[in-house]
Amino acid sequence: MILWHFPPKILTISPDYVHIWRINLDLSTDLLTDLAVNLSLEERQRAERFYFERDRKKFIACRGLLRIILSRYLKREPHQLEFAYSPQGKPKLKSIDSEESLCFNVSHSQNLAVFAIALNRPVGIDLEYLRQIPNIEQLAERFFAPSEFSIINALPTAQQQEAFFRFWTIKEAYLKATGEGLAGLQKIAVSFTSENLIHLHNTESDILLNTHWFSTEFKPDPEYTGALVVEGKNFGENTIAYFTLNFDYIMNY
């Protein structure tokens, strides 16, 4: 059972821990306006390019809240943070003082967002709203490894949807951690032990990746499923802190 806590006023993190944050993105117009003030010119221009207003608001919310969270760890003002991007578009903090060692990743689905924070370790996080997807078997056969497709195909119809999302979130969290992107979906295979531990395999080299990567699942809400992947093997539920980002914390940054 995961317990979500309100964050402490003073945030610190060590290389042996990962912090996961969750927040509802259904924010007021006034709060979105306040968050937008901290965005860079490039971020504001990017927000304006979204065709749908809901997507523009979610981008402002996610990037604005990310700045607040990171600023608490770094003890800097949110607007002072600068981001760089990998060729695949993954954001990271520019190397200013100790910022290069603080790693992060973000995911959102529907009205919920999650943020993963780690120190000196690449980290990836994914979140999916549990919804009905038509042709689930065809999608699994196209995008998943044969072993994963076989598992989903053998399940009763009522269980296939959730199984699909479990595989998807773990695989995407790993690919976000490594920076490979979704083009590598079939290169990674997920399996579960009898104790429900997660094993990650590289299908091209048949190498077990658990010696270098830790992965776990979490549920920030009954209607969602999420997954975290972080570099390292000495992790467990006792080394992950789960925080709820609330209104007071946002307003008092």
Tokens of 79: 């607007």
Contact 78, 68 (CB under 8 A): yes
**167 and 197 together in one domain:** yes
Instruction: Tell me how far apart the alpha carbons of residues 120 and 116 are, in angstroms, rounded to a whole number.
Output: 13
Q: Taking Cα atoms as reference points, which of 183, 166, 4 lies closest to residue 87?
A: 183
Q: Is 5 within the bounds of a domain? A: no
**119 and 149 together in one domain:** no
Q: Is 1 within the bounds of a domain? A: no
Instruction: Tell me how far apart the alpha carbons of residues 106 and 176 are, in angstroms, rounded to a whole number.
Output: 9
Q: Is 7 within the bounds of a domain? A: no
Find the radius of gyration of the CA atoms of the chain. 18
Instruction: Tell me how far apart the alpha carbons of residues 171 and 123 are, in angstroms, rounded to a whole number.
Output: 13
**30 and 150 together in one domain:** no
**197 and 244 together in one domain:** no
- Whole-prediction pTM: 0.93
The predicted structure's pLDDT at residue 196: 75
Alpha carbon 61 to chain centroid distance? Answer: 15
Contact 191, 201 (CB under 8 A): yes
Tokens of 24: 């509802």
Tokens of 92: 């990271």
Longest dimension (CA), the chain: 53
CATH of the domain at 165: 3.90.470.20
The predicted structure's pLDDT at residue 97: 57
**33 and 117 together in one domain:** yes
Low-confidence ranges of the chain (pLDDT < 50): none
Provide the residue range defining the domain that includes 75.
18-123+235-251
Q: Taking Cα atoms as reference points, which of 124, 119, 27, 114 lies closest to residue 73?
A: 119
Q: Is 6 within the bounds of a domain? A: no
Q: Is 88 within the bounds of a domain? A: yes
**84 and 179 together in one domain:** no
φ and ψ of 119, to 5 deg: -115, 125
Instruction: Tell me how far apart the alpha carbons of residues 145 and 199 are, in angstroms, rounded to a whole number.
Output: 14
The predicted structure's pLDDT at residue 210: 83
**150 and 60 together in one domain:** no
The predicted structure's pLDDT at residue 230: 95
The predicted structure's pLDDT at residue 38: 95
Partner residues linked to 91 by β-bridges: 85
Q: Give the total number of structural domains in the chain.
A: 2
Q: Is 9 within the bounds of a domain? A: no
**172 and 77 together in one domain:** no
The predicted structure's pLDDT at residue 52: 93
**219 and 157 together in one domain:** yes
Q: Is 2 within the bounds of a domain? A: no
**144 and 206 together in one domain:** yes
**90 and 164 together in one domain:** no
The predicted structure's pLDDT at residue 121: 92
Instruction: Tell me how far apart the alpha carbons of residues 175 and 108 are, in angstroms, rounded to a whole number.
Output: 16
The predicted structure's pLDDT at residue 96: 59
Q: Is 221 within the bounds of a domain? A: yes
Instruction: Tell me how far apart the alpha carbons of residues 170 and 205 are, in angstroms, rounded to a whole number.
Output: 19
**119 and 241 together in one domain:** yes
CA distances to 27, 47, 116, 182 from 21, rounded to whole Å, are 16, 23, 6, 23
